[in-house]
Structure 1
Amino acid sequence: MEGPLVDMVYCSVESLFAFYKEHSRLKGFGVLKKTSKKRGCEYARYVSFACDKSRKPTAKNYSKRIDCKCKVNCVVLLDGSCRVTTVTTEHNHELQPSLTRFFGCHRKISKALKRKLEAYDITGIRPAKNIRLLEVQAGGPDRMGCTPKDCRNYIFQQRRMRTLACDAAIIQKFFALMQMKDDEFFYVIDTDNVDRLRNPAIYTPTRRYQ
């Protein structure tokens, strides 16, 4: 629960961000990263981690942006490590530890969870039962690390990917058959490393087919 302190040194900016992000999850607020790069410098010299409500309000984002002053500033050293220079812990809004799993910066589908979601979907388990099963295995929805909507979106995304892979195979088989019938027929299909369509199929016949 204790966040970064002034003059603390971390091995990298990423390690400090990971530590502060976990601190914010336990305390009940979201975080965002800001960098400042001096002219002529190859890397960001100064880095700030602030509450996600720190930006000044606008007409469109008056409820999300309330100019919260909570933040951690650090300076990046030559060896890649970083030293905390200033820390502000006061918030001008209520913290919500029980709701942090709904915050965008804290929502993440782990690799293990992705494998289970896809495997259960392939076996024919409906998305609702699929997600409920994983919630029970994790010990409750709050231990999933993401929301049911995130899981459902991932399931449907993988379904589309599998469909594209089938479509690519069918199209390629059809074009190969046409080429066997006509030696002057030429086609090109762009696929990725798992045979999914990466770009629309491009074929250039030398004459028109009705």
Structure 2
Amino acid sequence: MYNLDVRDEVQEGIEEMIVNNEISNMSKYPVDELRIGLEFTCIEDAKRFYNDYAFKMGFSIRKQTHYKARKLDDAITSITYCCSKAGHSKPTDQEKFEHQNSQSCHTPKKDCPNRRTNCKAHAVFKIDDRGKWVITVVANEHNHELIASPSKTRFFRSHRNITKEQKDLIHMLNEQNISASQIMSFLEAKEGGRHNIHFIRKDLSNENLRMHGQ
């Protein structure tokens, strides 16, 4: 279906990357089990777990706060990850413009849009004496609708991600002078469909620009 002129050695590298990617993406923890006391060997695993949980439940996350200990050479000892709708945000100029136009057109009055809702959902991870990262606080209550649809959730900011294996594959295909649209189509076919790609074409184009800028 996708007639891409890729040399045999490139194809072999692609197949190996896909297999490695599938293995690396296997979760070590049940994503349903968000609870106090759950341990992780490193903060990267902790963040990945909470982000996987957020993906399944239908929200996005971001880092809210972190603390350092002076006695440990400013090493981070605590991190809080929260729902991306925590706090408040100002509407963009475009949103203000659309809001003003809706008022001038005598449409039903609405509040100026706010992308954040001051949601309080979060999880706190602290490092213990053994060097393990442990969940010490869990707040699961959201004050907004959750979008538990992978076809939509995958485009939330914390879930939009190009894996290292995918980046290597993109670079490899780009060196073969394959266009961004062809690369995207190729990745979609290799991953079993567009719904399994957790980034948009703009992200791919940005990755190509970043590579050329190096």
TM-score norm. by structure 1 comes to: 0.65
Q: Judging changes above 3 Å, is the alpha-carbon distance between structure 1 residues 51 and 121 closer, same or farther for their aligned structure 2 residues?
A: same
Higher relative contact order (CA 8 A, sep 6+): 2
How far apart, in 1, do the equivalents of 2:75 and 2:42 lie?
A: 13
- 1:2 is displaced (CA, Å) by 1.1
Alignment partner of 2:48 out of 18, 23, 43: 18
Q: Judging changes above 3 Å, is the alpha-carbon distance between structure 1 residues 147 and 43 closer, same or farther for their aligned structure 2 residues?
A: same
Q: Report which of the two structures shows the higher radius of gyration computed on alpha carbons.
A: 1
How far apart, in 1, do the equivalents of 2:165 and 2:145 lie?
A: 33
2:56 corresponds to which letter in structure 1?
Answer: L
TM-score norm. by structure 2 comes to: 0.64
How far apart, in 2, do the equivalents of 1:108 and 1:72 lie?
A: 21
* 1:143 aligns to 2:196 (yes or no): yes
Q: Judging changes above 3 Å, is the alpha-carbon distance between structure 1 residues 16 and 112 closer, same or farther for their aligned structure 2 residues?
A: closer
Q: Which residue of 1 aligns with 2:79?
A: 47
User: Which residues of structure 1 form unaligned runs of 5+?
Assistant: 162-210
Q: Judging changes above 3 Å, is the alpha-carbon distance between structure 1 residues 111 and 72 closer, same or farther for their aligned structure 2 residues?
A: closer
How far apart, in 2, do the equivalents of 1:59 and 1:114 lie?
A: 34
Q: Judging changes above 3 Å, is the alpha-carbon distance between structure 1 residues 89 and 140 closer, same or farther for their aligned structure 2 residues?
A: same
Q: Which residue of 1 aligns with 2:175?
A: 122
Q: Judging changes above 3 Å, is the alpha-carbon distance between structure 1 residues 127 and 43 closer, same or farther for their aligned structure 2 residues?
A: closer
User: Which residues of structure 2 form unaligned runs of 5+?
Assistant: 1-30, 93-112
How far apart, in 2, do the equivalents of 1:39 and 1:122 lie?
A: 46
Q: Which residue of 2 aligns with 1:102?
A: 155
* 1:76 aligns to 2:102 (yes or no): no
Q: Which residue of 2 aligns with 1:207?
A: none
* Partners of 1:127 and 1:152 within 8 A in 2: yes
Q: Which residue of 2 aligns with 1:134?
A: 187
- 1:40 is displaced (CA, Å) by 5.5
Q: Which residue of 2 aligns with 1:87?
A: 138
How far apart, in 2, do the equivalents of 1:147 and 1:128 lie?
A: 11
2:76 corresponds to which letter in structure 1?
Answer: A
Q: Judging changes above 3 Å, is the alpha-carbon distance between structure 1 residues 109 and 7 closer, same or farther for their aligned structure 2 residues?
A: closer
Identical-pair percentage: 24
Paired residues in the alignment total 160
SS of equivalent residue, structure 2 residue 142? coil
SS of equivalent residue, structure 2 residue 125? strand
- 1:70 is displaced (CA, Å) by 0.8
1:21 corresponds to which letter in structure 2?
Answer: N
Q: Which residue of 2 aligns with 1:59?
A: 90
RMSD: 2.4
2:181 corresponds to which letter in structure 1?
Answer: A
- 1:39 is displaced (CA, Å) by 6.2
Q: Judging changes above 3 Å, is the alpha-carbon distance between structure 1 residues 127 and 68 closer, same or farther for their aligned structure 2 residues?
A: same
How far apart, in 1, do the equivalents of 2:154 and 2:59 lie?
A: 10
- 1:88 is displaced (CA, Å) by 1.1
How far apart, in 1, do the equivalents of 2:69 and 2:171 lie?
A: 45
